[in-house]
């Protein structure tokens, strides 16, 4: 079923403004000092428009923000510069999340033979903080007490769900694993889990072998797999990150 396109009132406003400009240029006499009425009118109106244009742009931007047509985001870039982005809140949010997730392979595919769980937990926490900050893009209309666009409301709800899933995982595993990892790294030794009493030297043992001696290894691996499945099958249906580049890791 084809959706009916709605004409944007802003386009109508611009068309009317253009018609008025042409009417004034051709028919009105803005200068009694010159015989070339059209040229003088163009020059006079150009001067007026150059002075009026900044105010017009400001009005359009404010109108876009108030009607939730746009959202504003300020990003810090290199050399102390800033990017100021204006876009529809849904488009701006999706683009921001897609760019972020495109560098977070461990959210979709964890490699138990090569990934350091301590670093992965840090990455998951940064992801939690990212979504907690980015959800503000979707909150602007809700704060004004107006009806939220269906897709925006759906993304807002999904983001809250993502935050809950990550929070549950981090609460269950982050503190316990990091205390254990810090302890064995500082001692530079860990006891083998086979009950032999032999010790392994932490810094001379491959990371995947070290992690297998964690006392809740099976539980944390199950948690990682659940996060991976959730982001691949559920979250990515909203943001469409290209996962093919990571499938070999699975």
Question: pLDDT-based confidence at 1, cuts 50/70/90?
Answer: very low
Question: pLDDT-based confidence at 15, cuts 50/70/90?
Answer: confident
Q: With left for phi above 0 and alpha for psi between -120 and 50, is residue 4 left, alpha or beta?
A: beta
pTM of the predicted model as reported, rounded to 2 decimal places:
0.68
Q: Are 199 and 189 in contact (CB under 8 A)?
A: yes
* Sequence ranges of the domains in the chain: 9-66, 89-249
pLDDT for position 215: 92
pLDDT, tens digit, 9 for 90 and up, residues 62-117 = 655 555 554 555 444 444 444 444 457 888 899 999 999 999 999 999 999 999 99
Q: How far is residue 214's CA from residue 217's CA, in Å, rounded to a whole number?
A: 5
Q: How many Cβ atoms are within 10 Å of 26's Cβ, its own excluded? A: 11
Question: pLDDT-based confidence at 5, cuts 50/70/90?
Answer: very low
What does the mean pLDDT of the chain come to?
A: 79
pLDDT, tens digit, 9 for 90 and up, residues 123-132 = 999 999 999 9
Q: How far is residue 103's CA from residue 117's CA, in Å, rounded to a whole number?
A: 17
Alpha helix (H) residue ranges in 76-149: 89-101, 105-108, 117-134, 140-143
76 by DSSP, 3-state: which? strand
pLDDT for position 250: 46
pLDDT, tens digit, 9 for 90 and up, residues 225-248 = 999 999 999 999 999 999 999 986
């Amino acid at each position: 079923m084809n959706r009916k396109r709605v004409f944007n009132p802003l386009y109508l406003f611009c068309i009317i403004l253009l018609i008025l400009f042409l009417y004034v240029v051709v028919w009105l006499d803005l200068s009694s000092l010159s015989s070339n009425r059209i040229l003088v009118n163009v020059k006079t109106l150009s001067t007026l428009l150059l002075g009026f244009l900044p105010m017009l742009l400001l009005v359009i931007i404010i109108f876009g923000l108030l009607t939730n047509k746009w959202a504003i985001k300020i990003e810090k870039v290199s050399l102390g510069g800033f990017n100021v982005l204006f876009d529809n809140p849904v488009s701006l949010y999706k683009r921001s999340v897609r760019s972020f997730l495109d560098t977070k392979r461990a959210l979709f595919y964890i490699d138990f033979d090569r990934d350091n769980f301590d670093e992965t937990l840090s990455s998951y926490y940064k992801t939690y903080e990212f979504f907690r900050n980015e959800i503000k893009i979707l909150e602007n209309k809700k704060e004004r007490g107006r009806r939220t666009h269906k897709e925006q409301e759906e993304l807002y709800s999904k983001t809250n769900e993502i935050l809950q899933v990550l929070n549950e995982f981090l609460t269950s595993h982050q503190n316990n694993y990091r205390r254990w990892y810090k302890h064995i790294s500082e001692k530079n030794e860990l006891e083998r889990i086979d009950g032999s009493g032999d010790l392994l030297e932490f810094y001379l043992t491959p990371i995947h072998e070290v992690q297998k001696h964690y006392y809740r290894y099976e539980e944390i691996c199950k948690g990682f797999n659940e996060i991976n499945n959730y982001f691949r099958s559920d979250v990515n249906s909203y943001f469409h990150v290209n996962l093919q580049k990571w499938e070999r890791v699975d």
